[in-house]
A = this chain, B = another copy of it.
C-alpha cells in the first residue's frame, strides 16, 4: 500500500498512561503525512506478572490457557493506545491479532505465522483510520489465540510490513539504533546508519539485544526495510536492509559480546565415527543449544571435545556429559562458567583479508588469551575469560577504527 508505514512500540513505551500519550503523539505526528499501522506489545512487566500468577496455580500451566492469558496484555495496549489517539481527534481502530488476519500454527506459546490476510486492515486504512494491531498474537487452526514467543511483536510488525507492502517497518526502542558496540561498555560507540540483514543476524546471534533473529530473517526474506530508532527523539536511527555495495567498504560494522556462555570439555574420547553425534544428539534431546564446538586430535586415537552452551543449561549438560563419558569410555568432564564470547561482525570481511589475524593480534597485544575461535563468512568470535570482556570489546572497537 502506498505511503504506508508500520510503527512498532515495545512494552516499555506503553507502560504508563504518560508513556501511552507520548506514543500517541508520535503516531499522530506520523499520520499527518503517512498511512500508519501501529504494532504494540503488552504494557511494561505485565507479561512477566501474568506468568508469575500462572506459576502460582500450576507447575506447568496449560499452554493453550497461557496463550489466552498472555495475549490480554497486548489487547490492553491496543485499546488504551487507540483511546489516546482518538482523543487527539484522529480516527483509529484497534485490531487483535485474529481480527488483523494473522494466522498462526498450532504450537502454543511459540507459534509461527502461517499467513496474513490483511483485508480488514486495508479496509480500515482506506477509511483513513490509523490501525493499531496487537503484537505477539494470532489465531490458530482451532480458532484459539496463539502467541508468537519472544520477540513476537517485532515479528508481527515485520510480517505486516511485508503483507501490506509498506514502505518501512519502524522499530521504536529506548536506544537510538544499532551501535558499533554496546554504548554502556564502549563510550565512543557510534550509531550505524545502515546495516545488512546478514550483519544484523550475526549481531543478534552473538549477544546484541536489539532484535531477535527470526524477525530479521523474515525481513530478509521479504526485503522489508527495518528502521530501528528511538521512542524519545526524531533522529534517524539505523536502517537494516538489503546489502548495497558501499556497505562493503566497512570491514567491521560492530563488536558484540555475550556473557551468557559457559565452556565444557570432555577429554580422551575414543576417536571413532559417531561419537560426536552421540554427544550432541543427547544434548539436542534435552533442548540444549550448543554454540561453538572444537575437536582437537590428541595422541593415541583419542580426542578432546570442547563446546559452549548457555549458562542456564550448564548444570544439565554437565551431568549428561558425565554419563555419556562413562558409557563411551571417555575421560573427565571439565567446565568453566567464567568465559565470555566477543565477536566482530561485518560484510566487508569477505573482501578484506587478514581481519581474523588482526583481531587475534589486538587481543594478544592486550594480554587477552583466546580459548576458542569460531568464524563465519562475516563474523569472527572468540571465547575469552569473562573478566577480560570489557577490555576486549574496547580494544577491538578502537583497533578496528569504530570509535
| Closest-CB distance, A134 to chain B (whole angstroms) | 10
A-B contacts besides A61-B83, A71-B75, 10 pairs, CB < 8 Å: A21-B57, A53-B80, A58-B83, A58-B87, A62-B83, A68-B79, A69-B79, A72-B76, A72-B79, A99-B143
Would you call B79 and A58 a contact (CB within 8 A)? no
Q: Which of the residues B17, B71, B93, B143 comes within 8 Å of A57, measured between beta carbons? A: B17
| Count class of interface residues, chain A | 35 or more
- By beta carbon, the residue of chain B nearest A60 is B87
- By beta carbon, the residue of chain B nearest A96 is B68
| Closest-CB distance, A25 to chain B (whole angstroms) | 12
Which 8 pairs show the lowest CB-CB distances between chains A and B?
A58-B87, A69-B79, A17-B56, A72-B72, A57-B84, A65-B79, A68-B79, A61-B83
| Closest-CB distance, A98 to chain B (whole angstroms) | 9
Would you call A66 and B84 a contact (CB within 8 A)? no
8 Å CB contacts to B: which residues of A57-110?
57-59, 61-62, 64-66, 68-69, 71-72, 75-76, 78-80, 82-84, 86-87, 93-94, 96, 99
Would you call A76 and B58 a contact (CB within 8 A)? no
Q: How many copies altogether? A: 2
- By beta carbon, the residue of chain B nearest A87 is B58
Q: Does A50 contact B (CB under 8 A)?
A: yes
- 29 examples of A-B residue contacts, CB within 8 angstroms: A17-B53, A17-B56, A17-B57, A20-B57, A21-B57, A57-B83, A57-B84, A57-B87, A58-B83, A59-B87, A61-B83, A62-B82, A64-B93, A65-B79, A65-B80, A66-B79, A68-B78, A68-B79, A68-B94, A68-B96, A69-B75, A69-B79, A69-B80, A71-B75, A72-B76, A72-B79, A75-B75, A99-B143, A99-B144
Would you call B84 and A58 a contact (CB within 8 A)? yes
A144 to B79, CA, bound (A): 12
Could you say which residues of chain B place their CB within 8 Å of the CB of A61?
Answer: 83, 87
Would you call B75 and A68 a contact (CB within 8 A)? yes
* Complex interface bits, A1-29 against B, C-beta within 8 A gives 1, otherwise 0: 00000000000000001001100100000
Could you say which residues of chain B place their CB within 8 Å of the CB of A356?
Answer: none
Q: Does A54 contact B (CB under 8 A)?
A: yes
Would you call B83 and A54 a contact (CB within 8 A)? yes
A69 to B81, CA, bound (A): 10
Q: A94-B65, A143-B99 are in contact. Are A57 and B80 (CB under 8 A)?
A: yes
Residue of A17, A24, A69, A83 most packed against chain B (CB within 10 A): A83
Would you call B57 and A76 a contact (CB within 8 A)? no
| Closest-CB distance, A55 to chain B (whole angstroms) | 9
| Closest-CB distance, A244 to chain B (whole angstroms) | 42
Could you say which residues of chain B place their CB within 8 Å of the CB of A65?
Answer: 79-80, 82-83, 86, 94
Residue of A21, A68, A75, A82 most packed against chain B (CB within 10 A): A68
A5 to B19, CA, bound (A): 46
8 Å CB contacts to B: which residues of A132-147?
143-144
A64 to B68, CA, bound (A): 20
| Closest-CB distance, A389 to chain B (whole angstroms) | 40
| Closest-CB distance, A228 to chain B (whole angstroms) | 27
Could you say which residues of chain B place their CB within 8 Å of the CB of A64?
Answer: 93
